[in-house]
């Protein structure tokens, strides 16, 4: 088990810059998730850590030792791939033990490692089966078991759940988290699914266009995004963004104007941070869960406002309502019993304790 450090790591494919001088410190035992849209450089970064891609510049170290020139087999890492990569002619036990046999481990020691891993993953009864006799989730457990038996310094996961159906993905997320709590090996996990990232990670690394946008705990990224990209990427449905103008309140504090008819008063606690930007155009951000129907005992600084609903989406335990503010579509989350029908007027409440203002030029959260 070991820490992983990336220093000014760059990856170029001819003239294409895939990863742009990233720096990252992953302490021992930590579960870190690299997340971002397709093409952001997350899988390339993982493959560079594994040694499957050569770095163009920079330095990667595992356990304090620089591994730039080491082949994958000498880095003491174990990788779990998207497609399982199991040998179809081997049993589960043989698949899990294959790497140990290549390293000339004694048979008794191999059996102990395989039995321990099978017990952790609850696949003991599957050890005699072949991959074609297993479900997708069982195959993924076997792939994880093959990694666990090696007792590596670092686990690397490359979108391991993307081939599974939605229900099985949720189950396997729980399994992976449970395994990490038991094994506590340093883990780097890549996914494009922000829900996966939020539920699994100790810390999340949000990547975009080959760069790291922000690193933080799931709660940090959700409540304190640093950029518009992070604010929009983390959370589902995504944060609402409405062009606005920050105005002085004529002695009554700051106000943010979203349209001719809709003006919100800025909470006093945020006035010192926002006051230098008075009179400027901004982007107003607020998550759907902070736009609700008026409820009995409200918490926080809120403001009611009327809307006419465009679309209503019942989701069972909640209902999503969509409306427009000066031409921009906005989403709110309301109780099913409170929802009106499409085309009807409804009174909503914005919890402004959770508002964000974003500089439209730099895309940084103010």
- Under a CB-based contact definition with an 8 Å cutoff, are residues 294 and 258 in contact? no
pLDDT cut 90: percent of the chain above it? 51
pLDDT score of 160 more than 80? yes
Any idea which of 35-39, 119-123, 210-214, 333-337 has the lowest mean pLDDT?
A: 119-123
| Residue bearing tokens 């508002």 | 355
Taking residues 302-315, report their average pLDDT: 90
Q: What Å distances lie between residue 115 and 94, 111, 203, 227, 247, CA to CA? A: 12, 6, 31, 47, 66
pLDDT score of 202 more than 70? yes
Q: What Å distances lie between residue 118 and 8, 95, 102, 282, 334, CA to CA? A: 39, 12, 20, 54, 44
Taking residues 333-349, report their average pLDDT: 89
Note the CATH number of domain 4-227.
Answer: 3.40.50.300
- Under a CB-based contact definition with an 8 Å cutoff, are residues 126 and 160 in contact? no
Q: Express each pLDDT in 204-213 by its tens digit.
A: 999 999 999 9
- What's the pTM value of the predicted model, to 2 decimals? 0.87
pLDDT of residue 332: 94
pLDDT score of 134 more than 80? yes
Question: Maximum CA pair distance of the chain?
Answer: 81
pLDDT score of 23 more than 80? yes
| Residue bearing tokens 């906005």 | 330
pLDDT score of 185 more than 80? yes
Q: What per-residue string of b and e applies to 175-186 under the rule 16 or more CB within 10 Å gives b?
A: bbeebbeebebb
Query: 159 falls in which pLDDT band (50, 70, 90)?
Result: confident
Judge if 4-227 and 240-358 fold alike in CATH terms: no
pLDDT of residue 151: 82
pLDDT score of 136 more than 70? yes
- Under a CB-based contact definition with an 8 Å cutoff, are residues 19 and 34 in contact? no
Q: Where are the domains of the chain?
A: 4-227, 240-358
Query: 319 falls in which pLDDT band (50, 70, 90)?
Result: very high
pLDDT of residue 287: 95
Q: Which of 126-135, 190-199, 357-366 has the highest average model confidence (pLDDT)? A: 357-366
Query: 47 falls in which pLDDT band (50, 70, 90)?
Result: very high
> Mean pLDDT for the chain?
89
Q: What Å distances lie between residue 351 and 232, 249, 307, CA to CA? A: 18, 19, 16
201 φ, ψ (degrees, to nearest 5): -80, 145
What are the structure tokens assigned to 78, written together?
């174990």
Alpha-carbon distance of 35 to 33, in angstroms, equals 6
DSSP assignment of 204-244 equals EEEEETTEEEEEE-HHHHHHS-SBHHHHHHSSSSPPEEEEE
Query: 161 falls in which pLDDT band (50, 70, 90)?
Result: confident
pLDDT score of 138 more than 80? yes
pLDDT of residue 252: 62
Q: Which of 110-119, 242-251, 294-303 has the highest average model confidence (pLDDT)? A: 110-119
Q: What Å distances lie between residue 97 and 68, 80, 110, 148, CA to CA? A: 28, 15, 6, 10
As assigned by CATH, the class of the 240-358 domain is mainly beta
pLDDT of residue 229: 96
pLDDT score of 296 more than 80? no
What are the structure tokens assigned to 363, written together?
């895309």
pLDDT score of 137 more than 90? no
pLDDT score of 251 more than 60? no
Residues contacting residue 269 through CB under 8 Å, at least 6 positions apart: none
pLDDT cut 70: percent of the chain above it? 97
Alpha-carbon distance of 100 to 308, in angstroms, equals 65
Taking residues 58-78, report their average pLDDT: 91
What are the structure tokens assigned to 225, written together?
């995004």
What sections of the chain are H helices per DSSP?
42-50, 92-102, 107-121, 136-148, 166-183, 194-200, 218-223, 228-233, 271-274
Q: What Å distances lie between residue 234 and 193, 213, 238, CA to CA? A: 9, 12, 7
pLDDT of residue 228: 96
Taking residues 32-45, report their average pLDDT: 92
Q: Express each pLDDT in 252-292 by its tens digit.
A: 688 999 998 899 999 888 888 898 999 999 999 999 999 99
Q: What per-residue string of b and e applies to 222-231 under the rule 16 or more CB within 10 Å gives b?
A: beebbbbbbb
């Amino acid at each position: 088990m070991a820490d992983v450090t990336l220093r000014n790591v760059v990856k170029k494919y001819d003239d294409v810059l895939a990863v742009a001088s990233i720096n990252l410190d992953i302490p021992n035992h930590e579960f870190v998730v690299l997340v971002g849209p397709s093409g952001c450089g997350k899988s390339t970064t993982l493959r560079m850590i594994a040694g499957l891609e050569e770095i163009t510049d920079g330095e990667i170290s595992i356990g304090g030792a620089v591994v730039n020139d080491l082949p994958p087999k000498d880095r003491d890492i174990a990788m779990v791939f998207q497609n399982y990569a199991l040998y179809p002619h081997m049993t589960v036990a043989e698949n899990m033990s294959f790497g140990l046999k290549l390293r000339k481990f004694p048979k008794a020691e191999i059996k102990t490692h395989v039995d321990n891993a099978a017990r952790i993953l609850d696949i003991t009864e599957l050890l005699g089966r072949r991959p074609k006799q297993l479900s997708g989730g069982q195959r993924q457990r076997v792939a994880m078991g093959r990694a666990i038996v090696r007792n590596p310094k670092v686990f690397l996961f490359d979108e391991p759940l993307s081939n599974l159906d939605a229900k099985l993905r949720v189950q396997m997320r729980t399994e992976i988290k449970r395994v990490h709590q038991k094994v506590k090996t340093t883990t780097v996990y890549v996914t494009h699914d922000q829900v996966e990232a939020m539920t699994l990670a100790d810390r999340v690394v949000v990547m975009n266009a080959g760069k790291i946008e922000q690193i933080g705990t799931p709660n940090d990224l959700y409540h304190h995004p640093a950029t518009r990209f992070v604010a929009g990427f983390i959370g589902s449905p995504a944060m609402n963004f409405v062009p606005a103008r920050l105005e002085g309140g004529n002695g009554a504090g700051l106000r943010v104007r979203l349209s001719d008819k809709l003006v919100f008063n800025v909470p006093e606690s945020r006035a010192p941070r926002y006051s230098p930007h008075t009179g400027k155009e901004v982007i107003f951000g607020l998550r759907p869960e902070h736009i609700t129907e008026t409820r009995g005992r409200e918490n926080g600084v809120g403001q009611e406002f009327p809307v006419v609903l465009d679309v209503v989406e019942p989701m069972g335990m909640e209902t999503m309502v969509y409306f427009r503010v000066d031409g921009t579509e906005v989403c709110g989350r309301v109780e099913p019993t409170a929802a009106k029908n499409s085309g009807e007027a409804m009174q909503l409440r914005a919890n402004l304790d959770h508002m964000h203002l974003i500089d439209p030029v730099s895309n940084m959260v103010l």
